[in-house]
């Protein structure tokens, strides 16, 4: 396979030869290039569902999961971490086992790069708990974590928890030593608890600015504590709904573009029509203005964001340059979760995952998607 365009990360006009891996990259005259940008395939490390399909349904049909995965590819994503949220222990294990089967059996299932478990070891308070069901919130358990690893071929890549639990530092240390990214999220933890978590090996803040109290002290508070901690990267839901423009810009300046991760936190309604859908054991509504809320409430329950739109929002709302915005959806998440073959951009020897796109009226419009050298769009 050969394609050409402007490297969105470097600005160079390039021609790329690739199959499963990239075999050659060389500069070409600008006039010889297709009028498109080229980037590594986008990577979404937090996605709860898509195209009407809930990844938190342990009985989700493989045919439905195929539809969801195909729709995700259409947004420029080539690798993702299906995300299982707080639920009953057996249901969470069953969801993970079902998603692992999808990874192994679906067409292009290799696009599932592992799994993110968000909860159940989170804060029980209203606000920090977000849309997670209170009855299933529980303290960290290494035995439960090991069950997750057992049913996924040891492919848990990210776990989000609140460090307020007394067991948290010891748990974080053990899990981080497994090479898993431990992320702080859905928390009302103190500064000391956050520091202890980072000292133990936590390296990420999950959707910083969300999963928080509606009102809190000006300072100190757990948002400032995480923004000020240089050892933490942070993920952001850049949909214009979850975060205000001023907060997103301020948080990006605090974390720096190199430690910013774009995520969708998409749930089942993403990519589907407005209406009612399931999120685990709860109903969620996609409103006509693009908000996903728990049915009958105004409480956000994931998003309807697509990654290509998120890249555009990181520029228009976050103030990032195109290379910075693309890096937040490619290099930065790959390096955070140690995803080999994806950490160096469009270079020889890297995996042949590419997305070609154009910029029109501030929108990122996907033109072609390649997964390990295979064209999907």
Task: Report the pLDDT value the prediction gives residue 280, as an integer from 0 to 100.
Answer: 87
Whether pLDDT at 161 is above 90? yes
Q: Are strands 53-54 and 49-50 parallel, antiparallel or unpaired?
A: antiparallel
3-state secondary structure 60-99: CCHHHHHHHHHHHHCCCEEEEEEEEECCCHHHHHHHHHHH
Question: 């992320």: which residue's tokens?
Answer: 183
| pLDDT tens for each residue of 350-372 | 999 999 999 999 999 999 999 99
307 DSSP β-pair partners? none
Map tokens 């209170």 to a residue. 134
**Cβ-count burial 343-361 (b if 16+ within 10 Å, e if not):** bebbeeebbbbbbbbeeee
Q: Mean pLDDT in the chain?
A: 97
Q: In the predicted model, is pLDDT for residue 7 greater than 80?
A: yes
Helices 142-151 & 89-105 angle (0-180, nearest 10): 30
Distance CA(293)–CA(300), nearest Å, equals 4
Options 91, 265, 309, 353, the catalytic residue:
265
Domains of the chain and CATH, by start: 41-342 (3.20.20.140)
The model's pLDDT over 304-363, given as tens digits with 9 standing for 90+, comes to 999 999 999 999 999 999 999 999 999 999 999 999 999 999 999 999 999 999 999 999
Residue 180 sits at φ, ψ, to 5 deg, of -90, 140
- Is 2 a residue whose pLDDT tops 80? yes
Q: Which residues on adjacent β-strands are paired with residue 182?
A: 159
pLDDT band at residue 30 under the 50/70/90 scheme: confident
pTM over 0.75: yes
- Please indicate whether residue 91 is annotated as part of the active site: no
Q: Are 210 and 145 in contact (CB under 8 A)?
A: no
């Amino acid at each position: 396979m050969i394609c050409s365009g402007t490297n969105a990360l470097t600005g160079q006009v390039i021609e790329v030869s690739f199959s499963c891996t990239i075999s050659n990259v060389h500069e070409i005259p600008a006039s010889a290039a297709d009028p498109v940008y080229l980037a590594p395939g986008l990577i979404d490390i937090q996605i709860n569902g898509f195209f009407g399909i809930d990844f938190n349904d342990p009985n989700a049909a493989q045919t439905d999961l195929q539809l969801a995965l195909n729709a995700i590819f259409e947004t420029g994503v080539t690798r993702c971490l299906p995300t299982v949220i707080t639920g009953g222990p057996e249901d969470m294990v069953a969801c993970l086992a079902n998603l692992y089967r999808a990874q192994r059996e679906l067409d292009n299932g290799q696009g599932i790069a592992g799994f993110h478990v968000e909860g159940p070891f989170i804060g029980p308070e209203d606000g920090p708990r977000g849309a997670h069901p209170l009855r299933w919130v529980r303290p960290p358990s290494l035995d439960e974590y090991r069950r997750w690893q057992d049913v996924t071929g040891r492919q848990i890549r990210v776990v989000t928890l609140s460090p307020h639990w007394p067991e948290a530092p010891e748990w974080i240390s053990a899990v981080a030593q497994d090479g898993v990214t431990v992320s702080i999220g859905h928390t009302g933890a103190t500064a000391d608890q956050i520091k202890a978590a980072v000292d133990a090996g936590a390296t990420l803040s999950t959707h910083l600015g969300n999963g928080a109290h509606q009102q809190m002290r000006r300072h100190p508070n757990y948002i400032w504590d995480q923004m000020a901690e240089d050892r933490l990267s942070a993920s952001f839901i850049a949909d214009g709904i979850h975060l205000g423009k001023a907060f997103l810009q301020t948080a990006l300046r605090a974390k720096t573009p190199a430690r910013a991760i774009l995520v969708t936190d998409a749930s089942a309604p993403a990519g589907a029509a407005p209406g009612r859908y399931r999120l685990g054991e709860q109903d969620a509504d996609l409103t006509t203005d693009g908000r996903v809320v728990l049915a009958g409430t105004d409480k956000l329950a994931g998003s309807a964001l697509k990654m290509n739109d998120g890249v555009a929002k990181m520029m228009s709302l976050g103030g990032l340059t195109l290379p910075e915005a693309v890096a937040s959806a490619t290099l930065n998440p790959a390096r955070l979760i140690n995803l080999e073959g994806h950490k160096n951009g469009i270079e020889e020897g890297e995996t042949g995952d590419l997305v070609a796109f154009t910029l029109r009226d501030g929108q990122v419009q996907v033109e072609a998607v390649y997964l390990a050298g295979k064209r999907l769009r």
